[in-house]
Amino acid sequence: LHWRWVCAEEFCFFGDMSRFEAAAKKAATTAGVTTAAPKPKAAASKAAAALKPGGLHAKPKAAAAKLDTLEDKRKFVKMWEMKIDDKDCEVQAEANKKAKKDLETALKKLQTDETYVKVKEEIKDMELQGKRDAERAAL
């Protein structure tokens, strides 16, 4: 007997599944994850979400974390500008016109995000205030 033949015939517990599907199923069962039908709680939570302001499709705010210090604000702006740059690179690399238009729309949303624009203005104001304070201290 050849080892592969024995392995394929006797140890194939998953029938006609591919290797990937079999491995995924085995990993799910060992991790305790089940692929059962969704529970009724999910429907109830959707109904509750529809009653909230903004409905089901309300987007979370961009800056969930508190941005108190100038350093925190600079980190946020730097992270957001990296997102903008990544999206701009995607737009430049896209050949499909419809997909490119969708990416351009997403880029515009990133550039005009309320939180990003507000934090950027706050940084400018804080830097100007710091310069004024330094000039006053020098006098």
| Entry pTM | 0.52
Contacts of 49 (CB under 8 A, 6+ apart): 55, 56, 58
In this structure, are residues 62 and 113 in contact, taking their beta carbons and an 8 Å threshold? yes
- Within 13 A of 96's CA, how many CA atoms are on the CB side? 5
Segment 83-119, tens digit of pLDDT: 999 999 999 999 999 999 999 999 999 999 999 999 9
In this structure, are residues 130 and 69 in contact, taking their beta carbons and an 8 Å threshold? no
16 — pLDDT class (breaks 50, 70, 90): low
CA-wise closest residue to 61 among 111, 106, 116: 116
